[in-house]
Amino acid sequence: MRAAHEAVAAGLAADHALSLCFSLLCACPVALWTGDMPAASRFIGMMLDHATRHSLPYWHFWGRCFDTAPQLRLGHGVERTESIPNLLRDPLCGAIHRETLATFCEGVVDTDLIARAKAGSAGWCGAEILRIEGEMILKAGAAEAGAAAEAAFRRSLDMAHRQGARSWALRTATSLARLWRDRGRAAEARTLLADVYSGFSEGFATADLVAAKSVLDELAE
């Protein structure tokens, strides 16, 4: 978050339209992922306003994508929200937009994004999409859903570890720990999640670490 704020400040100081857009392209998702909703609202508003003033439709579309993040709809965000289906139908919407949206809104994930993740085409967020696949399997509640979801979570965790993507690993470990907890494997769940959680030395007030700590506290009871 420090780097995000510094980047935006540098973009403003440069007084260069595209430099500010690039800095906001990084700052908006970082604020959303960490759960810093005041910063997210500010950055998204800046991107939408800046892109409008400078007639930059590509960057305005990114602003619209970030503006649909579910967290912003809980009363923290700017007023110009639109539906995710509208975004997905927009000609400007490509795989990178859908994959980025998926990291904020699990409902964006479909069979196409899952196939891309399994093929290695999703790259940076493949582990998170595979985690969401596991959550979708559990929600569907089909026979043997637990085993199938666990397999998806393990694929996600393996990918996150290979990439050194600790934040995705934390999300997946939290999901898998919940699954094991609900199936009477509390000790294994705590060991798994505590191992991933211990890899962090800062950011304990951010959304994913707060969620993981909550599960750890439940498992300690």
Band (pLDDT 50/70/90 cuts) for residue 77 is very low
Per-residue pLDDT band for 129 (boundaries 50, 70, 90) equals: very high
Q: What pLDDT sits at residue 69? A: 81
CA–CA gap between residue 213 and residue 220 (Å, rounded): 10
Residue ranges of domains in the chain: 2-102, 109-220
- pTM strictly above 0.85: yes
- What CA–CA distance (Å, rounded) separates 142 from 139? 8
Chosen CATH of 109-220 out of 1.10.357, 3.40.50, 1.25.40, 1.10.1060: 1.25.40
**According to the 3-state scheme, what is the secondary structure of the chain?**
CHHHHHHHHHHHHHCCHHHHHHHHHHHHHHHHHHCCHHHHHHHHHHHHHHHHHCCCHHHHHHHHHHHCCHHHHHCCCCCCCCCHHHHHHCCCCCHHHHHHHHCCCHHHCCHHHHHHHHHCCCHHHHHHHHHHHHHHHHHHCCCCHHHHHHHHHHHHHHHHHHHCCHHHHHHHHHHHHHHHHHCCCHHHHHHHHHHHHCCCCCCCCCHHHHHHHHHHHHHHC
Residues in the chain: 221
Q: Are 152 and 137 in contact (CB under 8 A)?
A: yes
Residue 78, pLDDT score: 46
For residue range 15-35, list pLDDT tens digits in order: 899 999 999 999 999 999 999
